[in-house]
Amino acid sequence: MSNGWMISDNSLDIKELLKNESIFNISNGYIGIRGNFEEKYPDDYPTVRGSYINALYEEVSIPYGEKAYAFPEAMQKIVNIIDAQDINIIVNGEGFSLFEGTVKSFQRYLDMKEGCYVREIYWVSPLGKELKLKISRIASLKYLELFAINYEIEKVNFDEDITIISSINGDVTNFTDDNDPRVAAGHSHILSVKSVELEDEIMQIASETHNSKNLVTVTTKHSLNVANDISFEKTDTSIKAIIKTAPGKAIINFTKYNVYTDSRRYKNPLKDGFKIVRELSKMTFEELKKLQSDFLKEFWSIANISIGGEDKLQQGLRYNLYELLQSVGKDTISNISAKGLSGEGYEGHYFWDTEIYILPFFTLCCPKLAKNLLKYRYTILDSARLRAREMGHKKGAAYPWRTIVGGECSSYFPAGTAQYHINADIAYSYVQYYLATGDFDFIKEFGVEVIFETARIWLEIGHYHEGFFKIDDVTGPDEYTAIINNNYYTNVMAKHNLKWAVRLYNELLLKDEELLNELCEKIALTKEEVETFEKASDKMYLPYDEELKINAQDDSFLSKAIWDFENTPKENYPLLLHYHPLTIYRYQVLKQADTVLAHFLLEDEASLETIKNSYDYYEKLTTHDSSLSCAVYSIMASKIGYIDKAYDYFMETALLDLEDTHGNTKDGVHMANMGGTWMSIVYGFAGLRIKEDHISLNPKLPKHWSELKFSFKYKGFVIAVKVNKDKTEVKVQKPCSINLKINGRLYSFENNTSIEILN
């Protein structure tokens, strides 16, 4: 089943089950449920039966064989919470299972217009009883606490009663994999049941994390359209409803309403759970679906991208954008983790992925959600200040490499804490939001302080040498090269961070001197210190190799031996799983885009010749072992005119999870790559850039595409772009003071709503 808006996979192959649990997750930014079967698999089948709440965490100790000063002692990790998925259908003592009896037909699909995951099944029991089932589930985008499951049950060749057993279970554990550092390791039993309650046929379990004392509840109510008898059974960790339906041929419609509440957001999660489920269960499942589709209609009106000529690609692209919406936090307590809410890879941590790979989509398509992501970084600013002091810095903030509530969760500092560039990445995202929206009030309230405090760190870790400002002992985006001097990416992003700290200081001086004075007093910032920002920015050292005419990745990279790619077996990738870090660090080999990424983010800092030479040099050294890599290489291939290469890299990003090209989708989908897919189209093939006084487009369509259409928001206006082989057409809703540069020529929308030029 495929119409461009549905993802379908009808396989019951044991090898595909784990992957499909991730693919068919349903989430809404608050709750996330993996695509498990309600009735479960046979006991010997692999599964990660997972339910998660964004930013609900346990704090666990970090074990070290040898520990040094300022190593983080504890970290946060996402919690696999109470399981409310269980529903079992019993016919004359026979339990429904896709792995017993005869499956006459089976379809499952994710409908991205309706926001609903569906299984449609025609099943014959071992004793010949025939059932048709339509099982639908949604994580409500309107009421974030709600996870609802609906069963339509048709008795085909019998009219006896059936029994529905619906359970919630608090005896859950987190998934671990000690052999893969990208997946959670250790600490599987982190949640304890505190209470199991039954009140007016409403079931509730409350559990608490052992150390962080975060409380989470699931409160469940049922609705049926036929006469029934209901009874309940409780244990210390579970409760189930046993519902016996009346005999007859009527189609049974059964809905299970599950409401999640937690102590990070609710003062009384137990009481609130009962209150919310009573209210929401007044709505039918069809009414809830209507709210879901209405929400998505508004989302897709801006976010949808239409590609003429490739249906499969269209489907994969929409899936990636849908997952971004599903996974992004809808409040300032939460953010968006590397795996969203689809699995436990990277333990639910938030990385720089948010700012560099995901925020661009939300900034230009859903700026309200972008604001939440930026506000989240503001809420953990004090933790970043504390981390800076732990690291020996007298001023400023050092944002954690990976975190949930603000503390550093990375125990491997060469590829974690040493990645100081996250400070500049966060500052960059605030600036991009400002340029795209013009929302100076937001920047005043939440952005300026972050940009000042992140800028201070560069003066703490950098120094002047031979007339230049240099930054030593850091790690750039490429995690196959660590603890080096003058990483080009870090230095050029630091320059941008410092420049904008000065720029915003001066803007506030003109527009809101009172607020500036209050802020300067709060953080003890002086005009003289701002002048040091300007000097460091002006004198920033950006390594350049005269012979190769490229920006060197760092001071020592080009002097190393080149990795022996020819004799590295295919099965030895990713390298990090087969070679000691020190072995990798000694060679010219990249895990992902580094200097090439810098050339994308700050293209005006280098000539086109340097950008092209750098691309050509680093591409042949890059393994793309990180899912963050191909999107950047696609974008920059578009910029320098390698359109076929840009297309090939783009295809790697578009279908990475649906085709499981990295072999680890079972641990959760790859959120940064999904953001990168959108960037590859909008920043790559369309060539969009947000400049200080205009936006620019330089469209270059792949030969496989007949047309490209997309929309985005800029300074409050919706801009629609249509590109085909012959022309580019750009429309706005009404005349507005927006300057647009297309293929180097400047246009204005002052007196018109449409611009059309020949390509």
For 124, list phi and psi in degrees, rounded to 5. -115, 125
DSSP state of 356: I
pLDDT of residue 185: 53
Lowest mean pLDDT among 1-5, 163-167, 493-497: 1-5
pLDDT band at 1 (very low <50, low <70, confident <90, very high): very low
Distance in angstroms (rounded) separating the CA atoms of residues 468 and 543 = 11
| 89 closest CA partner among 195, 160, 12 | 160
pLDDT of residue 298: 97
Residues 471-504 pLDDT 10s: 999 999 999 999 999 999 999 999 999 999 999 9
pLDDT at 94 exceeding the cut of 60: yes
CA distances from 283 to 164, 278, 280, 397 (A): 21, 10, 6, 47
Q: Which residues contact 282 (CB under 8 A, 6 or more apart)?
A: none
Given this structure, which CATH class describes domain 80-277? mainly beta
Beta strands (DSSP E) in 563-653 are 587-588
Distance in angstroms (rounded) separating the CA atoms of residues 515 and 434 = 18
| 202 closest CA partner among 178, 168, 225, 171 | 168
pLDDT at 187 exceeding the cut of 70: no
% pLDDT > 90, the chain: 93
Prior bond to 247 cis, omega within 30? no
How far apart, in Å, do the first and last CA atoms of the chain sit? 37
Q: What is the DSSP string of 343-354?
A: --GGGG-B-THI
pLDDT of residue 758: 84
* Catalytic position from the list 479, 529, 605, 652: 479
On the 0-12 / 13-18 / 19+ scale of CB atoms within 10 A, 88 is: middle
CA distances from 379 to 356, 373, 464, 498 (A): 19, 10, 33, 22
Residues 555-567 pLDDT 10s: 999 999 999 999 9
The Cα diameter of the chain in Å comes to: 89
Greater model confidence, 175 or 281: 281
Distance in angstroms (rounded) separating the CA atoms of residues 531 and 518 = 19
Residue whose structure tokens are 């671990």: 176
Residue whose structure tokens are 């409380």: 215
pLDDT band at 751 (very low <50, low <70, confident <90, very high): confident
pLDDT of residue 183: 57
Given this structure, which CATH class describes domain 369-374+394-623? mainly alpha
Residues 48-80 pLDDT 10s: 999 999 999 999 999 998 999 999 999 999 999
For 426, list phi and psi in degrees, rounded to 5. -65, -45
pLDDT of residue 3: 73
Prior bond to 574 cis, omega within 30? yes
Distance in angstroms (rounded) separating the CA atoms of residues 426 and 418 = 16
pLDDT at 528 exceeding the cut of 50: yes
Residues 239-283 pLDDT 10s: 999 999 999 988 999 999 999 999 999 999 999 999 999 999 999
| 309 closest CA partner among 639, 708, 671 | 708
Residue whose structure tokens are 């957001």: 265
- The neighbour count for residue 567, using CB atoms within 10 Å, is 7
pLDDT at 680 exceeding the cut of 70: yes
Q: What is the mean pLDDT of the chain?
A: 95
Residue 303, Cα to own-chain centre: how many angstroms? 16
**Gyration radius from the chain CA atoms:** 27
Distance in angstroms (rounded) separating the CA atoms of residues 22 and 665 = 7
Numbers of helices and strands, H then E, in the chain: 20, 32
Segment 567-572 long-range contacts (CB within 8 Å, at least 24 positions apart): none
pLDDT of residue 179: 56
Residue 751: both structure tokens together: 């007196």
Domain limits, the chain: 80-277, 369-374+394-623
163-169: strand order across its sheet: 94-95, 87-91, 163-169, 238-245, 228-234
pLDDT of residue 4: 85
Q: What is the DSSP string of 427-465?
A: HHHHHHHHHHH--HHHIIIIIHHHHHHHHHHHHHHEEEE
130 annotated active-site: no
Residues 592-636 pLDDT 10s: 999 999 999 999 999 999 999 999 999 999 999 999 999 999 999
For 236, list phi and psi in degrees, rounded to 5. -70, -20
| 545 closest CA partner among 486, 587, 494 | 486
pTM here is 0.96
pLDDT of residue 189: 83
Beta strands (DSSP E) in 583-706 are 587-588, 689-690, 695-697
Residues 444-463 pLDDT 10s: 999 999 999 999 999 999 99
Instruction: Provide the pairing of β-strand 739-742 with 57-61.
Output: unpaired
Residues 200-217 pLDDT 10s: 999 999 999 999 999 999
% pLDDT > 70, the chain: 98
Does residue 201 sit in helix, strand or coil? coil
Mean pLDDT of 333-350: 96
Q: Are 645 and 321 in contact (CB under 8 A)?
A: no
Q: Which residues contact 331 (CB under 8 A, 6 or more apart)?
A: 30, 265, 372
pLDDT band at 174 (very low <50, low <70, confident <90, very high): confident
pLDDT band at 311 (very low <50, low <70, confident <90, very high): confident
Q: Are 425 and 477 in contact (CB under 8 A)?
A: no
Distance in angstroms (rounded) separating the CA atoms of residues 180 and 347 = 12
Does residue 235 sit in helix, strand or coil? coil
pLDDT of residue 159: 93
For 647, list phi and psi in degrees, rounded to 5. -65, -45
Residue whose structure tokens are 């680093």: 618
pLDDT at 398 exceeding the cut of 70: yes
Distance in angstroms (rounded) separating the CA atoms of residues 149 and 133 = 13
Distance in angstroms (rounded) separating the CA atoms of residues 25 and 8 = 13
DSSP state of 82: -
For 243, list phi and psi in degrees, rounded to 5. -115, 115
